[in-house]
Amino acid sequence: DGGITQSPKYLFRKEGQNVTLSCEQNLNHDAMYWYRQDPGQGLRLIYYSQIVNDFQKGDIAEGYSVSREKKESFPLTVTSAQKNPTAFYLCASSPTGQVTYEQYFGPGTRLTVT
């Protein structure tokens, strides 16, 4: 079955540590996205990539970094510079070239930093 996988589902880290969240898709989509979700805030865009080896900052990129070395993979690193990293992180993907495309979401990773 095609889809998006994110691992792990729950992640716990100590403050000051960098942590990398995994996102893999086998839908053959060119574009991939990372969103952060906090209670009452909706989904806010962190980074997105429309092609391999290229990515753009979203609205809340500070304290995060990404890479896109393969079409299937778009890992997100939450660095120690991120002030409030505890959140639910959602990865998504979509085809490009058509503005009517829907975005498909992965199951999410809930990160807790103490």
Encoded tokens for 6: 């994110």
Among 51, 69, 107, 112, binds other proteins (CB under 8 A): 107
Instruction: Give the number of residues in contact with other proteins, rule: CB under 8 A.
Output: 25
Among 11, 27, 43, 61, binds other proteins (CB under 8 A): 43
Q: Look up residue 70 and give its amino acid.
A: K
- Cβ-Cβ contacts under 8 Å for 40 (sequence gap 6 or more): none
110 binds other proteins (CB under 8 A): yes
Task: Indicate the residue among 58 and 80 with the shorter CB distance to other proteins.
Answer: 58
Least separation in angstroms between residue 33's CB and other proteins is: 5
Q: What DSSP line would sit under 11-30, residue for residue? A: EEE-TT--EEEEEEE-S--S
22 binds other proteins (CB under 8 A): no
Residues 62/81, Cβ–Cβ less than 8 Å:
yes
Q: How far apart are CA 44 and CA 33, in angstroms?
A: 10
Q: How far apart are CA 101 and CA 74, in angstroms?
A: 19
2 binds other proteins (CB under 8 A): no
Site for other proteins, rule CB under 8 A: 31, 33, 35, 40-45, 48, 58, 88, 90, 96-97, 99-100, 102-108, 110
